[in-house]
Amino acid sequence: MTKATTTIKSPYGMHARPSSAFVQLSSSFNSKVQLKAKGKIVDAKSILMIMSMGLVKGTEVTIVADGLDEEKAVRQLIEVLESRDTWEFVDKATEFWKQIKAHCAERLKRLEEYTTTKKFLANVDRVAFDQDELTDLIGKGTREIYLCANSFEIPLDKKDKIYIGIGKAVAVICSEKPVDFDALNINFKNISFDDDYKKLCRKKVSRAKKSVKATQTNTTPEVKPMARKERFALIMEDGLEVRNIDDLKAHFDVGTVVREFKDGRLLTWLEDRYYDEEAAAIKKISPGDDYLAQRLCEIFGVETPEDVARREERLNRLKQYTSDKNILANVDRVAFDQEDLADLLDEGAEEIYLCENRFVIPLRMKNKNYIGIGNAVAVIGNKKQKDFAALNIKFKNISFDNDKKASKTTSTLEEKNASLSQSKVKSTDDTARATTTININRVDGDAAVAFVMKAKNFKSKVWLNRAKHRNGGGNNIVSIVTMSLTKGDKVTITATGEDAKQAVAELKNLIDSGFPGATLKDVENFFIATTTIEHKLGMHPHPASTFVQIASKFKSKIQLCAKDRKAKDRKVDAKSILMIMSMGLVKGTEVTIVAEGSDAKEAVGTLIKFIDDKFGYDY
């Protein structure tokens, strides 16, 4: 292991460009490379990890490398970190990277003259073409060494080695008598010995035969047991030695596994333990695959860092509605909207938790157990009475939409479709709906507060939806603002309860009047605002890191709401770099900042200004 410490000299610190160049250079080394700063240690080959550190000018950092090229890695990375400005930083890192790539390409081209085996090509840095290179590899502690098309003197004082031949490789053994390689734990594969050593071994065999003939008996010769193969362990980030696949999954570290894959050790580790299925899958992956980390996670059935961030986000959202440990442990079976429900049904889930929303229940999907969290409502599209027991569909802690209730109590179609013609409010016994059009430029925080405060005057539960969108909808300030309603949009007001008709009529009048009444000023310790990302590169790692640093200065709970790269509405912790990066916020994305706390208004204002100023960039 080699390490060195320095201080960041660049006036702008490690923002996006130098971080990207730094990670590119770090990734070109075979050694495990880590960066220590501010009491934390992170993988130097991960852009997310580097960006999350928030490294500015003057920050003291330590580079730690462990592997074949550890000294070179530390020397070059330290030299890059000591650059005086951004361009010098990027230029140095790029120059070193190109030199390494050129050197590797040259060695690879030379190796391809003797072999096309992928395993050998992937381990070009552990190939010795001459005695000097063999000496270097042994000096670095390399255990498995490839000897290519040359004669090599094997040092017998260096035990625990595996020598593998490529082409016509010859091992020169300087010894006056045959060597017990098993005792030294030195193994040879595809390698021939030099002529002198062969003659020495033949003489011993000849003497042994003469001795056997002289003392020949009828006893059965002793059979020497085959030496047990030594299997190496994979060393994870937490220092644990992993020797079986269950431990690998339990302590899975993406950076370590990717490095071991590129070194070829992961494949050897699997083959040595006869994990044939995983080994076959590994062989199909190219070291240059853009989705290498994701594919390795899929092979071993573990979550990617993005999956972990998304799961944490869902768990935090679920904790707003329940503290039940059993439900929290089953967060992957919780549906927050209709799309989540569809995903779970496609996966064949039999027990599904429905959280604080309206969900259309497909009756063709039998043998399901639906459990409600918060105010979950089941919408049954078929108005005819259904025998849920016959379909083996069960509901727990879930209320039905009032159309379903009405179908149980009303006897005629006329009764179910009775309407109030003057107010255009459609209603049944305890439900009512009305459709109208937004006539203000945008339904912002003030308008949402006016609607929610007005709705609280009624006993009925109220939703505001886009017209013809029966599922989902908004019944709180955040959900209404994130619907992004603008002038001309048609909306439906739905109310359920004893005063539903009155609630719908008055709320329709409120919308038609332009949302007069309460504003954000009337809500204590709460603020919300919406803007659009205008920077051409979107919220890439550097502004995301700065955004998180700004948000972390405030005491308030801050959330960022937007549609992610899959066009799904998401609400994430604005103080988490992993969650912000997992959103994939590009130019043109509309984002809403929500804060709750004593400094909520200042927090939202500062973050909105940061986004509107294009993150402080002029390009």
pLDDT tens readout for residues 4-26? 999 988 887 887 778 878 888 88
* Whether residue 372 has pLDDT greater than 90: yes
Instruction: Say whether domain 2-108 belongs to CATH 3.40.30.10.
Output: no
Active site residue 251: no
pLDDT of residue 368: 93
Pick the residue with more confidence: 213 or 197? 197
Instruction: State the average pLDDT over residues 248-272.
Output: 85
Share of residues in the chain with pLDDT > 70 (%): 86
pLDDT of residue 354: 94
pLDDT band per the 50, 70, 90 thresholds, residue 444: confident
Neighbours of 552 (CB within 10 A): 13
Angle at 461 between CA 460 and CA 465, to 5 degrees: 130
Closest of 331, 325, 375, 384 to residue 353, by C-alpha: 331
Which amino acid does the sequence have at 210?
A: K
Query: pLDDT tens digits for 339-353?
Result: 788 888 888 889 999
Instruction: State the average pLDDT over residues 164-186.
Output: 86
Share of residues in the chain with pLDDT > 90 (%): 12
Mode of pairing for the β-strands spanning 60-66 and 2-7: antiparallel
* Whether residue 603 has pLDDT greater than 90: yes
pLDDT band per the 50, 70, 90 thresholds, residue 564: low
**The residue count for the chain:** 619
Half-sphere exposure of 68 (CA within 13 A, CB side): 22
pLDDT band per the 50, 70, 90 thresholds, residue 176: confident
Half-sphere exposure of 484 (CA within 13 A, CB side): 11
* Whether residue 70 has pLDDT greater than 70: yes
pLDDT of residue 208: 53
Q: How far apart are CA 191 and CA 318, in angstroms?
A: 61
* Whether residue 473 has pLDDT greater than 60: no
Q: Is 141 left (phi over 0), alpha (psi -120 to 50) or beta?
A: left
Is-contact 535 587, C-beta < 8 A? yes
Mean pLDDT for the chain? 81
Residues 6+ apart with CB under 8 A from 441: 486, 487
DSSP-derived secondary structure for 53-86: T---TT-EEEEEEESTTHHHHHHHHHHHHT-SSH
pLDDT of residue 6: 92
Token pair 């193969």: residue:
229
pLDDT band per the 50, 70, 90 thresholds, residue 410: very low
* Whether residue 327 has pLDDT greater than 70: yes
Closest of 78, 108, 91 to residue 2, by C-alpha: 78
* Whether residue 62 has pLDDT greater than 90: yes
Q: How far apart are CA 477 and CA 481, in angstroms?
A: 6
**Which of 197-211, 438-452, 487-501 shows the lowest mean pLDDT across its residues?**
197-211
Topology given in CATH for the domain delimited by 413-522: Histidine-containing Protein; Chain: A; (3.30.1340)
Query: pLDDT tens digits for 502-541?
Result: 999 999 999 999 998 888 888 888 899 999 998 887 887 7
pLDDT of residue 619: 54
DSSP-derived secondary structure for 519-586: -GGGSTTEEEEEEE--STT-S-HHHHHHHHHHHHTSSSEEEEEEE-TTS-EEEEETT-HHHHHHT---
Residue 73, phi then psi, degrees to nearest 5: -60, -50
Q: Is 472 left (phi over 0), alpha (psi -120 to 50) or beta?
A: left
Instruction: State the average pLDDT over residues 327-338.
Output: 89
Q: How far apart are the first and last CA of the chain?
A: 42
Is-contact 491 468, C-beta < 8 A? no
**Which of 67-81, 131-145, 313-327, 564-578 shows the lowest mean pLDDT across its residues?**
564-578
pLDDT band per the 50, 70, 90 thresholds, residue 288: confident
Pick the residue with more confidence: 141 or 301? 301
Q: How far apart are CA 500 and CA 503, in angstroms?
A: 5
pLDDT of residue 222: 54
Q: How far apart are CA 347 and CA 333, in angstroms?
A: 10
Q: How far apart are CA 128 and CA 166, in angstroms?
A: 10
**Which of 40-54, 69-83, 220-234, 330-344 shows the lowest mean pLDDT across its residues?**
220-234
* Whether residue 419 has pLDDT greater than 50: no
* Whether residue 240 has pLDDT greater than 70: yes
* Whether residue 412 has pLDDT greater than 50: no
Pick the residue with more confidence: 79 or 570? 79
Instruction: State the average pLDDT over residues 76-105.
Output: 82
* Whether residue 480 has pLDDT greater than 60: yes
Strands of 161-166's sheet in order across:
127-128, 144-148, 161-166, 186-189
* Whether residue 482 has pLDDT greater than 90: no
| Domain 526-616: assigned CATH number | 3.30.1340.10
Rounded CA Rg of the chain? 34
- Every domain of the chain with CATH number 3.30.1340.10 lies at 2-108, 413-522, 526-616
Instruction: State the average pLDDT over residues 428-437.
Output: 78
pLDDT band per the 50, 70, 90 thresholds, residue 426: very low
pLDDT of residue 96: 83
